[in-house]
């Protein structure tokens, strides 16, 4: 007998809400069944971005935005059920990642007792509107256990994609990029490599008022500026070893603006080309340091649709066979949403959802809180 779960995800890119319907059979195997995307209303997206940095009257805005996100997440879950032609009573639970508005993990300058992460999108509201038990607030238990709270998806990657016959790398390119290294012997490592789409999206939004650079076409029209690239690569984040995680707190529009004060005369398409190269280089450097040659690389996340970026990865990683996760049974756009449906299943079954070797937590932990329908 299989149980159905809905995974809801809105990432750093703020490009919409991903809703995925999965079933999990008695052996724990995950089966992808259906999916939809829902847009984030423009004003809501604006409020989320405002909350990602210090602003006036933050608590008032936080409270209102928390409820609003919960409402649109619930609507996405109901729309998914309607699209899949199932009843809400057929769904065991919703696993809602929520929307990250601040991520301050432990590092050399911050004691883990002062670290925190905050994802909003009130699970009470999701459960009330959808009528489906909701599991949310996944990251803070890992933080409480001295972990990074991220990335969490390597635990799912290991459960769904590991193969004892070959080493596999799962590369998720969302707003930030993260890798999971799945060893043949069952060991798993993983961490955020740095920016995925976030800087490229920020720059094209600033210059052209577009949400993203389709297929990397604008980046491909420019040329990489070597000096600007080296400036970006001097970030301390790239010199840190895992466990590590990052977010908009480190990589944002201000990152670009500060760099352009040092290099003020670079043409806008060349800036975009350099940002794409930064994403590609930081990913490839991390993979080369953490994996063996000739391992198989599988892409997922929105960045897997950026043709220029994918071509660059193939050039920089010639010894790795590169595919996307559709070859493993889950389309690349839906892996993260599926992962949080799976983590909800782990929570309800009193099973851990983190990997201490990845997050740095003191041990395996059951993640999240349960909000009954």
Handedness of CA 285, 289, 294, 297 (dihedral sign): negative
CA-CA distance, 177 to 191, in Å (whole number)? 9
Under 8 Å between Cβ of 35 and 337: yes
Q: Where do we find the tokens 């990589």?
A: 251
What's 93's DSSP letter?
A: E
Annotated binding site: 11-18
Q: How many CB atoms lie within 10 A of CB 29?
A: 12
Tokens 């994802």 found at: 119
What is the pairing mode between strands 17-24 and 30-38?
antiparallel
- Residues within the annotated binding site for ATP? 11-18
| String of DSSP letters for 130-182 | H-S-EEE--HHHHHHTTS-----HHHHHHHHH-BTTB-EEEEEESSEEEEEEE
3-state secondary structure (DSSP) of residue 18: strand
């Amino acid at each position: 007998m299989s149980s159905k779960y809905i995974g809801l995800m809105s990432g750093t890119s703020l490009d919409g809400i991903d809703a995925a319907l999965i079933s999990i059979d008695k052996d724990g195997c995950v089966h992808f069944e259906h999916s939809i995307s829902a847009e984030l209303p423009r004003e809501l997206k604006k409020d989320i971005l405002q909350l990602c940095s210090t602003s006036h009257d933050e608590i008032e805005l936080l409270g209102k935005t928390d409820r609003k996100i919960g409402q649109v997440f619930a609507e996405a879950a109901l729309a998914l059920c309607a699209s899949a032609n199932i009843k809400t009573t057929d769904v065991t639970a919703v696993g809602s990642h929520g929307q990250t508005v601040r991520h301050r993990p432990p590092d050399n300058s911050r004691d883990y007792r002062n670290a925190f992460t905050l994802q909003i999108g009130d699970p009470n509201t999701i459960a009330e509107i959808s009528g489906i038990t909701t599991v949310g607030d996944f990251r803070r238990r890992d933080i409480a256990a001295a972990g990074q709270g991220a990335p969490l998806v390597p635990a799912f990657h290991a459960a769904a994609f590991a193969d004892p016959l070959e080493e596999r790398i799962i590369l998720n390119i969302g707003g930030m990029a993260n890798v999971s290294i799945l060893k043949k012997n069952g060991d798993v490592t993983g961490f955020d490599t740095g920016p995925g789409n976030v800087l490229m999206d920020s720059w094209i939004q600033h210059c052209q008022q577009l949400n993203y650079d389709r297929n990397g076409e604008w980046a491909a029209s420019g040329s990489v500026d070597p000096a600007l690239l080296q400036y970006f690569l001097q970030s301390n984040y790239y010199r840190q070893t895992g466990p590590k995680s990052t977010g908009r707190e480190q990589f944002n529009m201000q990152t670009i603006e500060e760099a352009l004060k040092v290099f003020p005369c670079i043409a806008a398409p060349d800036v975009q080309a350099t940002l794409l190269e930064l994403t590609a280089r930081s990913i490839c450097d991390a993979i080369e340091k953490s994996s063996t040659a000739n391992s198989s690389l599988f892409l997922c996340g929105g960045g897997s649709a950026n043709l220029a970026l994918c071509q660059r990865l193939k050039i920089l990683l010639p010894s790795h066979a590169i595919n996307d996760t559709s070859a493993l049974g889950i389309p690349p756009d839906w892996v993260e949403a599926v992962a949080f449906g799976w983590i909800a299943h782990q929570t309800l079954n009193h099973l851990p959802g983190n990997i201490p070797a990845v997050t740095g937590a003191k041990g395996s932990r059951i993640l999240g809180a349960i909000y009954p329908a």
